[in-house]
Structure 1
Amino acid sequence: MATASRVFGKPAMVGPDTTAKVRNAAAALGYVANPTARALATGSSGLLGLIVPDLSSPYFATLISAIQTEIEGRGFELIVSDSRGVPETEHEIVQRLQGRVDGLILASPRNTDSVLISIARRLPIVTVNRELPGIDSVSIDVSDGLADLCRFLLDHGHQRIAYIGGPPGSLADDGRFQSVEAAMEAGNGTALRIGPVQPNAQAGAETLSAIQLSNVSAVIAYNALVAHGLMLAAVSEGLNVPRDLTVTAVDDLIDIGLSLPTVTAITQPMTEVGQKSAGIILALISGSHEELQQRPPHQAQHLVLSASLSVNKS
């Protein structure tokens, strides 16, 4: 019984030959491990939760895949929930998952600092792209990349640009625009803000009229999908991109094969973010405080500079 229990609960403790025998016997008997019984016996559900603000966004697809791959290798399963970017929904999901999961990863959480700190008192959590005192987090800092992107545009003669922000409720958006505004002012340029918009191609296309009215020569879009939608709309209106309008983006989505090689962008290492956030939550659950392996930042072709990755352990 102990050997069979280890095969399903702690497979790393059992040799491959024994594991194969136990699993073959289980398959012949039609046995399926009961997670509820396991939770009662061990105090661990073997489940981890991940809450994202928008499941339809490709930005989070790579994150989800990386987290799932990392935790499945340690015998855990992942429950993914979509808060739709609504703070109240996000909190309701946390309340439903509490007691069912051993730990929780919140990607770009929308709740206030006090709510997130309260959640962290009740169960182990890691936040992605949100840094709070006493809470472990993995963040991507694009401020340096945005400054370089603005200098790139200034060097190519673009003194008046627009930043297309979004989505609504994004706490990082204000910081991004402030970085753009400061960098443009330092180069005697001007930055306008358009949005917020939803982070998809349709929303990008719908900004074209506002872009034309603003009399800018270049755009920094919230992500590659917004940039792509804007480019398609511009071309359909007879504009030449980049001669009439230069379009750049804050991320390249290269990890899921959607990079736009003709668009200058900042690469964001979402695979690494997923790996690190999964590693931290597993370490919190196990009580391990060993230092996580540092991986080099992801580099992509046709891009300006990589964003820097920040891991904060409380």
Structure 2
Amino acid sequence: MAVTINEVAKAVGVSTSTVSRAFTAPDQVRPETRERVLEVSAELGYVPNPSARSLRAGATATLGMIIPDLANPFYPPIFKALQQRARHLGYTTLVADCDDRESAELDAIAAIANRVDGLLLFASALPEERLRAIAAQTPLVLVNRDVPGISSLRIDLTAGVRQAGELLYALGHRRCALIDASRPGYERDKLFAEIFRGLGLTVVELGPYEPRFESGVHAATLVATGGATAVLAHNDLVALGALQQFTALGVRVPADVSLVGIDDTLLASVCTPALTSVRIDPEELAAAAAELLLEAVTGRGDSPRQVVIGTRLVSRASTGPAPAPTNR
């Protein structure tokens, strides 16, 4: 049975109206009381009643999207696809960049929450209780973040990464480097290392770094002296940094080192050599995200849903047979 607001109020020792204000008007509650309400709500599994959203201003016919880094070529195609779907349904779309920082994410949410009918948050770094408070005021969908009671979309990279490992193994590679740029606490890339090891590959983990071009430049120098014949990068942006540095060092891709990225952005197909990458389809992602967000905005969904989209490997010129030991 669902936990009620009365149970939360009793556990905290405050009135139900105080609990309600902690979610819908947090500035009207003392900070220590608000934090206690959020903490107890998370412990009990309380999900605020969607009717609290009626306190918000009227519909704006606008959807909001907050992303970690607009400079990452992974995000613009997703925003464009979401914008096209939203426009078709009569909505406009706002986008904000939080620069992969929690404080900036909170600022972005505060800036646009009252201007949109619903919010889409990518890889949010905010604590669960904070996300619950936001969801109580604004219809919310999370991407690559699971919080009970809030609809979410998860990108499952397992199949695509396994295909990458199988390809590298079939090409004769046995020692691979993994450029880890996972956010602290998530350790996504360590799961990729486990997949590779399960296929019989030895994995050298580098990082963690920030998921930026410069991280690939730095890691490539380590790879060049470490004996790995293949590299899996956290994303295409990191992979392109590595590719540039390999070229500067005279390391040939793929003759000396094979290179695999993740995301399959436009840059993956136009760089030289073209980058083998694990594809995340922006159209599929946008369609699923838009459906979940409109369910939250209109109340069409009976309850929050979790949707998973898969991935696949796109093989290009940056992967090839492992070099003979005498050539290393």
- TM-score normalised over the length of structure 2: 0.70
Instruction: Kindly state the Cα deviation for residue 83 of structure 1 after the two structures are TM-superposed.
Output: 0.8
Which whole-Å CA distance do the structure 1 matches of 2:275 and 2:58 have between them? 50
Confirm or deny: 8 A CA contact 2:215 2:241 kept in the other structure: yes
Instruction: Kindly state the Cα deviation for residue 255 of structure 1 after the two structures are TM-superposed.
Output: 9.2
Secondary structure at 2:246 match in 1: helix
Which whole-Å CA distance do the structure 2 matches of 1:256 and 1:217 have between them? 20
Please tell me whether residue 240 in structure 1 is matched to residue 246 in structure 2.
no
Instruction: Kindly state the Cα deviation for residue 250 of structure 1 after the two structures are TM-superposed.
Output: 1.9
* Aligned position for 2:265: 253
**Matching of residues 1-314 of structure 1 within 5 Å:** 43-166=58-181, 169=183, 172=186, 174-180=187-193, 182-254=194-266, 258=270, 262-289=274-301, 302=315
Higher mean C-alpha deviation, range 223-232 or range 140-149: 223-232
1:255–1:114 distance in 2 versus 1, CA, 3 Å = farther
1:63–1:89 distance in 2 versus 1, CA, 3 Å = same
AA at the equivalent of 2:207: G
Which whole-Å CA distance do the structure 1 matches of 2:269 and 2:159 have between them? 24
AA at the equivalent of 1:187: L
Which whole-Å CA distance do the structure 1 matches of 2:96 and 2:262 have between them? 25
1:130–1:149 distance in 2 versus 1, CA, 3 Å = same
Which whole-Å CA distance do the structure 1 matches of 2:128 and 2:227 have between them? 38
AA at the equivalent of 2:156: D
Confirm or deny: 8 A CA contact 1:254 1:300 kept in the other structure: no
Secondary structure at 1:55 match in 2: coil
Which whole-Å CA distance do the structure 2 matches of 1:224 and 1:283 have between them? 32
Higher mean C-alpha deviation, range 237-246 or range 207-216: 207-216
Which whole-Å CA distance do the structure 2 matches of 1:73 and 1:141 have between them? 28
Which whole-Å CA distance do the structure 2 matches of 1:257 and 1:189 have between them? 26
Instruction: Kindly state the Cα deviation for residue 54 of structure 1 after the two structures are TM-superposed.
Output: 0.6
Secondary structure at 1:99 match in 2: helix
Secondary structure at 2:135 match in 1: helix
Q: Which runs of 5+ in 1 are unaligned?
A: 1-41, 304-314
Instruction: Kindly state the Cα deviation for residue 120 of structure 1 after the two structures are TM-superposed.
Output: 1.5
Which whole-Å CA distance do the structure 1 matches of 2:237 and 2:129 have between them? 33
Which whole-Å CA distance do the structure 1 matches of 2:269 and 2:247 have between them? 23
* Aligned position for 1:27: none
How many equivalent residue pairs? 259
Which whole-Å CA distance do the structure 2 matches of 1:236 and 1:126 have between them? 43
AA at the equivalent of 2:315: H
Confirm or deny: 8 A CA contact 1:252 1:266 kept in the other structure: yes
Higher mean C-alpha deviation, range 242-251 or range 226-235: 226-235
Query: After TM superposition, where is structure 1 displaced by more than 6 Å over at least 4 residues in a row?
Result: 296-300
Higher mean C-alpha deviation, range 215-224 or range 258-267: 258-267
1:299–1:220 distance in 2 versus 1, CA, 3 Å = closer
Q: Could you say what the CA RMSD is over the residues aligned between the two structures, in angstroms?
A: 3.1
| CA deviation string 1:74-123 (max 9, x = no partner) | 22222211111111221222223333221101012121233222321222
Secondary structure at 2:74 match in 1: helix
Which whole-Å CA distance do the structure 2 matches of 1:260 and 1:223 have between them? 17
Q: Percent identity?
A: 26
AA at the equivalent of 1:251: D
Instruction: Kindly state the Cα deviation for residue 263 of structure 1 after the two structures are TM-superposed.
Output: 2.9
- TM-score normalised over the length of structure 1: 0.72
Which whole-Å CA distance do the structure 1 matches of 2:258 and 2:269 have between them? 22
Which whole-Å CA distance do the structure 1 matches of 2:205 and 2:311 have between them? 29
* Aligned position for 2:7: none
